[in-house]
Structure 1
Amino acid sequence: MPILHTFARPALLAASITLLVGLSADADAQQRRRAAAPKAPPPVTACSDLYTFVNTSWLEANVLVAGQGTRSAFGELQATALQQQHDLLNAAMQAPQNDLQRLLGDFWASGLDEAAVEADGARPIAPLLARIDGIRRNRDVAPAIAALHQVGIPVLFKFGAEVDVDDLSRHLGYFAQGGLGLPDPAYYSRGDARTQEIVAQYTQYVRNILTLAGTPEARLEADTALVIDLERRIAAVSRPNAELRDPRSQYALVATADLGKQYRRLQLGEFLAAQGVQAEQVSLANPALFQHLDLLVNSLKPEQWKAYLRFHIGDAMAPYLSKSFRDAEFDFHGRILRGENAQPTRQQLVLGAINRAAGPMLAREYVGRHLPDATRSRAETIAGQVRDALARSVERSTWMSDAAKAEATAKVANLKLEIGAPVEDIDFTMPPMGRGSFGGNMLIASTWRHAQEMRRIGQPNAARRWDVLPQSPALAYDPAQNRLIVSAAVLQPPVLDTAGDPASHYGTFGALVGHELSRAVDVKGKFVDSREAVRTWWTPADDAAWLQATDRLVAQYNAYPYPGLSAVNVDGARTRDENAADLAGVELAWDALLRASPELAKDGREAFFRGWAQMWRQQVASDSATRAAATAPQAPGQWRANGPVSNLPAFSETFACKAGDAMMRPAADQVSIWR
């Protein structure tokens, strides 16, 4: 990101230059040299570049060298949250204060003990492999599949709890395609050279995992071929990922009482019983796929199923086993599929495992330690004020139709604010772990987590669960439940610095809340109405008005040069929706601040805009900037900071900007959405 710096010469160097000039030239020559010297660039001000004006010290202290990726304010927040979790787990490991901490401490300790993990080898998965070795007849296959799903290893297909598309208040069990080791069914049929290369690398990976899982050398080639063959058969009747993006493409209610009759070899009725699911209905949207799977269970030899299931046990558990497993898994999934250069550190790997399998347990302890009542109360107050600002903005909107305005008003009135953590409805009872086997502990925890997920199915409890963990920084609008979700981890600097100027809280946390709440009634929120029914409640006139306003934003952002790149500008069309939400966030937060503090002094007004600009500070290496310029849905930090406020008259008034200043956008060119 190019930043204009005025470098001061070191005093010693400056003195030596002066001395040399004095010995070689007269005063007139010195005067001519001074007259010919180029002028220094004008100082950066809030009115010329708010982003650089506010963040200069941070930008200078965080210069990147090639290949360092990105540094940002939100990256620092993420690092803080991770360190807080490390510290919490270390304390639980050393001196647990309750049963939950004892479980977490044992889980953490077992993962950090690399020597014990190496000594454990493949022993954690030995009981699962023995279960597979016990398959003798085709009718043994379905119970083995159900048993692996119970421990959190989904094979052959996926089954999980998701919100019911036609009743957003409840969770439904969804049967969906899965069971493949490559990320898209298309990999198994495409003939281009790159795909064929990946398939060959995957085949070698299958062979490596089977070797580590104990397949005899004499059977390796045959069993590897059997695994690939079975996955090709599954892929042949699976849909490309692109066809699954619409949630309704995976939604079709069926009666659970009929599943055992329709899919007798898969034994889906017994499968649901094994998962503890007693709901009368589930979703199964691709019956042709499951009919084919039902036939495969009956037609393929048990030896092929045993090879397939052994591989998928090893593949799923590889990150939590000894180094040979981890290296094999990373070389394929990490380097080849994800393009990563280095494995996670031991702490990163273990923390990720705990959050995946026992995240709600860690959440309870994290919230208790890192979310003071005063911080939660402050967040609730500001979020409520921003919601009220959105209600006022909808009421005075000049671009919304009367019908859309009425629906938006009702939707904002019903909009819920959930701060810190979800309401708990989880059973935290888990078998004791001990510190001897990290892989064994992972299976204990993932079995518990799977059971908790299954408890959702058929229950009207969708409003009691989040899709994010409180210990992960997150602030998001959930359209299915018409609610704002604010995690405990996000309620700290730079988003909410309770030690800072109270007005800055609106420029940081308040503006992010406004960004997300605007989603309830904008082009993204128009598909779910105030009664949480899935339908489009905007009129064609609303769509046209939205495009008219945001087309002007597209033009504004198209003119912004992309920081760190030459001859590349921001893609205003691709970033349209995020830019509109950023503008909405600033508009709504400013309205909320002035309603709360109508006599706010100049210092407080400046603090609002400084807070907003500080959140978007970032340094991005050129390779990362190139990727972001081509794919990112958001503008880069400099323009997330500067773009919205240049459309706000209050900004130029606060900093006394004048015509000709870069940040002083003429009134006729300013875009307004909610002011």
Structure 2
Amino acid sequence: MSTLRPLACALALSLIAGLASPTADAAKKKAAAKPKAPAAASACSDFYASANGDWLRSNPLSGAGSVSSLETLAANARKQQLELLNSAMTAPQGNVQKLLGDFWASGLDEAAVERDGAQPIAPLLGRINAIKKAKEIPASIAALHQVGIPVAFNFGADIDLQDLERHIGYFSQGGLGLPDPAYYTRTDADTRQLLGHYNNYVQKILTLTGTSKDQLAAESLFVIDLETRIARASKSLPDLRDPRANYAPVAVATLAKQYKNLQLGAFLKAQGVTDDSVSLANPQLFAELDKLLGSLKPDQWKTYLRWRVGDSMAPYLAKPFRDAEFEFRGRVLRGHAAPAPRQQAVLDAITLAAGPMVGHEYAARYLPAATDARAEQIAAQLRDALGKAIDADTRFSEAVKHEARAKLGKLKIEVGTPKRDLDYSVQPMGRGSFGSNMLIASTWRHREEMKRIGRGNADRRWDVLPQEPSLAYDIAQNRLIVTAAMLQAPVLDMSKPEAAQYGSYGALVGAELTHGFDSRGRYVNAKQEVRDWWTPAEVSAWDSLAGRVAAQYGAEPYPGLNGVKVNGNQVREVAIADQAGVELAWSAFRAASPAASKDADQAFFRAWAGLWAQQLSPEVAAQRSAAGIHAPGQWRTNVPLSNLAAFGETFGCKAGTAMQRKPDQQIKVFP
């Protein structure tokens, strides 16, 4: 059911920081004397360790690869979702909760799931088994897409790169049981072994969906042969990374003529899509699929469709299905030792099929109106602070400032939940069948996805769920998105003083807003057109800034790793945003509270440090050092603050100390 996942529009803000261990020179000792304990970190020597000392002592790794302040926030959001669903199951408040409570109850009732066996997919299998001719196959493909089971290819809604105000439908490659098309054609020993495991899995699912023992070997070859043909016509995974290379609008009217066997025009009508154009960036693949529909026997297609239904629905059916799916996808592909606990598995399933429904109720339950209003207020203040910073920015020419002001003037702030709600008119789910409920909910979710296609629908909803912690700038829609789950400690803690709210939440908002006007935001102008609105002068100034930031971070050791420095070039874009966020939040805070006390000033900076408290195992630290775009928490805290004269003044740090660089060494994004 992969198409049920929200389509990625680069919305999610990754909030992972590295472990920082306080360091100090070992004291010199006399021969007979015991070694002295390292000096405790101070605000001026290592603010991260000083501010987060209690947290670091109270949150050891305890066998986990990482633990952090923000991971704790995410865990709390998951706990809240469980509380919500349990409450909806026993005492629902309203129709949406009634649907969710019944859905949740059906998933927790393992005995009922076992009794249900394969019954939830029996109607789908019956339709497939009734196919007599090849021309009947496209209608079955369309019907399976409608219930959230993608076969042969993928189809979903995403931004029209020529008109960011709308979404269009994207026909893209899919329909494979293995995650990489290359697995089907590589000949190395590891891949051959993987294909052997895969063949065993295919045979298990085919057995569970009706294949007799004497036909099993032949029918599993049917599946793998058809998927191999699809894989050969598919693009490699690296080729899929550039959105522009996978955008190719075509007129819907031409599809029926070009791909007669696939019946793509009828497919779109079945999905409820009436737009006049779609994107189809791999015509070779669809030409191959069209050819295969005309050349392969219907029995091969029927076997493939039956397999795709069983594979997609296996996690939600009886134990033989679940065990087969976990053995291959969980153990072989992901290296998991055991399946997720039942509650977590059911929560993941409901998130996949009905996540927006959970988000709707989550925000109503866990986002107080006062918190919502405060979050919007601070975000608006940060927007104003950014406007003033742009006006004063000496790197921007007047023409570029004019464009930036226009873009900032159109910036939208959406907090808690999307402004445009969804249609929750779905069939009653009931408590009788978890697998059937998955199909009912995923049919609704697919319907709502298809409604995003067309003019004026680009902002229909978010590509992140309200119950998932996220704070991000949506570059295509020029809007700031803050989910309900993000608006709790340590990001926006209403029990903390206002200064702390600016230092944590305000700084994150400032960092994200900066992305609309940085080396990424420069490619979308105020009219939401994909156009570079910088001149070479701005590019040169930015590159100079980025080089200096990279040098600052590149000089720091990676905590927990011997002899490893932070990769400054790798982390510099996020690091620039962090620096800008702290600068803008400080300006907004001082504008709102010009007479703030020193205690309040200190609370601002401690709140920033509190965001990045984290412990990492050496293995995870090595992984993030090699590939992560975020600096370790110690340096996400300390480096931006060491560039601020206000920090040194607040804590009495002398110029040239670790936490207060000399004025000529300080970097400011907005001088």
Would you say same fold, with TM above 0.5? Answer: yes
370-379 vs 274-283, greater mean Cα deviation: 274-283
2:451 partner SS: helix
Report whether the alignment pairs 1:537 with 2:533: yes
Counterpart AA for 1:380: E
8 Å CA contact retained: 1:159, 1:174: yes
8 Å CA contact retained: 2:20, 2:49: no
Report whether the alignment pairs 1:44 with 2:33: no
Per-residue deviation, 1:41: 2.4
1:292 partner SS: helix
Counterpart AA for 1:598: P
Per-residue deviation, 1:35: 8.0
Show the counterpart of 1:56: 53
Identity of aligned residues (%): 57
Unpaired runs of at least 5, structure 1: 7-31
User: 631, 643, 652: which is aligned to 2:639?
Assistant: 643
1:352-371 matches, within 5 Å, as 352-371=348-367
Report whether the alignment pairs 1:375 with 2:371: yes
1:247-262 matches, within 5 Å, as 247-262=243-258
Counterpart AA for 2:225: D
Per-residue deviation, 1:252: 2.1
1:311-460 matches, within 5 Å, as 311-460=307-456
8 Å CA contact retained: 2:20, 2:615: no
User: 17, 21, 24: which is aligned to 1:3?
Assistant: 21
8 Å CA contact retained: 2:656, 2:662: no
8 Å CA contact retained: 1:166, 1:534: yes
Counterpart AA for 1:99: N
Report whether the alignment pairs 1:496 with 2:514: no
Show the counterpart of 1:236: 232
1:616-631 matches, within 5 Å, as 616-631=612-627
325-334 vs 233-242, greater mean Cα deviation: 325-334
- Name the CA distance, whole Å, in 2 between partners of 1:519 and 1:424: 24
Q: Residue by residue, what CA displacement relative to the aligned partner does 1:481-538 show, whole Å, maximum 9, x if unpaired? A: 0000000110110000001011000110000001100000001111111110011112
- Name the CA distance, whole Å, in 1 between partners of 2:649 and 2:395: 26
Aligned CA distance change for structure 1 residues 190 and 81 (closer, same or farther; 3 Å): same
Measured on the aligned residues, the alpha-carbon RMSD in Å equals 1.7
- Name the CA distance, whole Å, in 2 between partners of 1:660 and 1:537: 38
User: 172, 177, 180: which is aligned to 1:176?
Assistant: 172
- Name the CA distance, whole Å, in 1 between partners of 2:22 and 2:445: 51
Show the counterpart of 2:71: 75
628-637 vs 189-198, greater mean Cα deviation: 189-198
- Name the CA distance, whole Å, in 2 between partners of 1:283 and 1:656: 59
Counterpart AA for 1:190: R
124-133 vs 191-200, greater mean Cα deviation: 191-200
Per-residue deviation, 1:392: 1.0
8 Å CA contact retained: 1:579, 1:640: yes
Per-residue deviation, 1:624: 1.2
1:9-158 matches, within 5 Å, as 36-65=33-62, 67-158=63-154
Counterpart AA for 1:275: Q
8 Å CA contact retained: 1:472, 1:489: yes
- Name the CA distance, whole Å, in 1 between partners of 2:510 and 2:211: 56
1:163 partner SS: strand
333-342 vs 604-613, greater mean Cα deviation: 333-342
Per-residue deviation, 1:215: 1.4
Aligned CA distance change for structure 1 residues 280 and 82 (closer, same or farther; 3 Å): same
Counterpart AA for 2:417: A
Per-residue deviation, 1:176: 1.1
- Name the CA distance, whole Å, in 2 between partners of 1:409 and 1:342: 53
Per-residue deviation, 1:160: 0.9
Show the counterpart of 1:518: 514
Show the counterpart of 1:185: 181
Q: Residue by residue, what CA displacement relative to the aligned partner does 1:331-358 show, whole Å, maximum 9, x if unpaired? A: 2222333333332221111111112111
- Name the CA distance, whole Å, in 2 between partners of 1:517 and 1:97: 37
Q: Residue by residue, what CA displacement relative to the aligned partner does 1:64-119 show, whole Å, maximum 9, x if unpaired? A: 24x41111111111111111111111111001122111100000000111111122
1:159 partner SS: strand
Counterpart AA for 1:83: K
Q: Residue by residue, what CA displacement relative to the aligned partner does 1:305-347 show, whole Å, maximum 9, x if unpaired? A: 0111111111111111122222222222223333333322211
Q: Residue by residue, what CA displacement relative to the aligned partner does 1:533-571 show, whole Å, maximum 9, x if unpaired? A: 011112222222111111111111112111111111211
User: 219, 223, 229: which is aligned to 1:223?
Assistant: 219
- Name the CA distance, whole Å, in 2 between partners of 1:204 and 1:256: 40
1:535 partner SS: coil
Greater RCO (CA < 8 Å, at least 6 residues apart):
2
Aligned CA distance change for structure 1 residues 4 and 633 (closer, same or farther; 3 Å): closer
8 Å CA contact retained: 2:203, 2:220: yes
Per-residue deviation, 1:192: 2.6
- Name the CA distance, whole Å, in 2 between partners of 1:571 and 1:327: 42
1:378 partner SS: helix
1:157-168 matches, within 5 Å, as 157-168=153-164
8 Å CA contact retained: 2:655, 2:663: no
Show the counterpart of 1:26: none
Show the counterpart of 1:27: none
Show the counterpart of 1:13: none
Show the counterpart of 2:5: none
Aligned CA distance change for structure 1 residues 253 and 456 (closer, same or farther; 3 Å): same
Aligned CA distance change for structure 1 residues 464 and 439 (closer, same or farther; 3 Å): same
Per-residue deviation, 1:284: 1.7
2:328 partner SS: helix
8 Å CA contact retained: 1:363, 1:469: yes
- Name the CA distance, whole Å, in 2 between partners of 1:44 and 1:374: 37
User: 241, 245, 249: which is aligned to 2:241?
Assistant: 245
- Name the CA distance, whole Å, in 2 between partners of 1:530 and 1:341: 50
- Name the CA distance, whole Å, in 1 between partners of 2:171 and 2:402: 38
Provide the TM-score with structure 1 as the length reference.
0.93
Counterpart AA for 2:40: P
Counterpart AA for 1:48: S
- Name the CA distance, whole Å, in 1 between partners of 2:406 and 2:225: 54
2:205 partner SS: helix
Counterpart AA for 2:378: I
1:47 partner SS: coil
Q: How many residues align?
A: 649
- Name the CA distance, whole Å, in 2 between partners of 1:529 and 1:246: 20
Per-residue deviation, 1:197: 2.5
- Name the CA distance, whole Å, in 1 between partners of 2:197 and 2:379: 50
1:48 partner SS: coil
Aligned CA distance change for structure 1 residues 119 and 533 (closer, same or farther; 3 Å): same
User: 271, 275, 282: which is aligned to 2:278?
Assistant: 282
Counterpart AA for 2:44: C
Show the counterpart of 1:269: 265
Show the counterpart of 1:469: 465
- Name the CA distance, whole Å, in 1 between partners of 2:22 and 2:604: 24
1:365 partner SS: helix
Report whether the alignment pairs 1:550 with 2:546: yes
- Name the CA distance, whole Å, in 2 between partners of 1:33 and 1:257: 88
- Name the CA distance, whole Å, in 2 between partners of 1:202 and 1:540: 52
- Name the CA distance, whole Å, in 2 between partners of 1:618 and 1:425: 36
Higher Rg: 1
- Name the CA distance, whole Å, in 1 between partners of 2:334 and 2:211: 28
Provide the TM-score with structure 2 as the length reference.
0.94
324-333 vs 571-580, greater mean Cα deviation: 324-333
Per-residue deviation, 1:37: 3.7
Per-residue deviation, 1:385: 0.7
- Name the CA distance, whole Å, in 1 between partners of 2:315 and 2:122: 16
8 Å CA contact retained: 1:390, 1:674: no
- Name the CA distance, whole Å, in 2 between partners of 1:193 and 1:401: 58
- Name the CA distance, whole Å, in 1 between partners of 2:627 and 2:322: 31
Per-residue deviation, 1:253: 2.2
